[in-house]
């Protein structure tokens, strides 16, 4: 009777730099979905409630959102999460329609999603500051 080999621990390389671009876009799409659900939507509703309550509340939140650089960076990060999730969602809708399912087309569309996200955030960042 042959001896069964001893179960060895598995090594999972979790280094994101070794992943192909479509995989990175997929991971970022999932992360941004979670970030939007847990943080962006509640924060947006809280700010909307505070700004619609009274004119002084509106002026307070306008002052907070326009004067503190850290708040602007957090806003920019939230906007990037939304923008990336939006563009990647459009990419996945096209993939569901069997448009761009080849390896080269998937790589090109993932690069397009990343570039569109960076360009959109750059435009919004310039406008924000």
**pLDDT tens-digit map of 43-78:** 999 999 999 999 999 999 999 998 999 999 999 999
In the chain, the N- to C-terminal Cα span, in Å, equals 74
3-state helix, strand, coil in the chain (%, to 5): 80, 0, 20
pLDDT at residue number 2: 65
Q: For 3-43, how does the pLDDT look when each residue is reduced to its tens digit (9 = 90+)?
A: 777 787 777 777 767 889 999 999 999 999 999 999 999 99
More confident residue, 116 or 129: 116
CB 95 within 8 A of CB 57: no
CA distances from residue 102 to 26, 39, 53, 82, 95 in whole angstroms, order as listed: 16, 35, 51, 27, 10
Of 78, 73, 75, 74, which Cα lies nearest the Cα of 37?
78
pLDDT at 129 over 70: yes
pLDDT at residue number 4: 75
Q: What one-character DSSP code corresponds to residue 97?
A: T
pLDDT at residue number 15: 76
Confidence of residue 1 (pLDDT cuts 50, 70, 90): low
pLDDT at residue number 76: 94
CB 114 within 8 A of CB 25: yes
Measured from the Cβ of residue 90, the count of other Cβ atoms closer than 10 Å reads 14
């Amino acid at each position: 009777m042959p001896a069964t080999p001893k179960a060895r621990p598995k090594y999972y390389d979790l280094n994101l730099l070794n992943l192909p671009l479509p995989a990175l876009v997929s991971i970022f799409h999932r992360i941004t979905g979670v970030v939007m659900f847990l943080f962006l939507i509640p924060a947006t509703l809280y700010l909307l409630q505070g700004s619609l309550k009274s004119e002084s509340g509106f002026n307070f939140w306008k002052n907070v959102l326009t004067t503190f650089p850290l708040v602007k960076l957090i806003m920019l990060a939230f906007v990037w999460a939304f923008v990336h999730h939006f563009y990647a969602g459009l990419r996945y809708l096209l993939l569901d329609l069997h448009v761009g399912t080849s390896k080269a087309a998937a790589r090109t569309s993932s690069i397009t999603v990343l570039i569109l996200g960076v360009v959109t955030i750059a435009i919004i960042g310039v406008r924000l500051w």
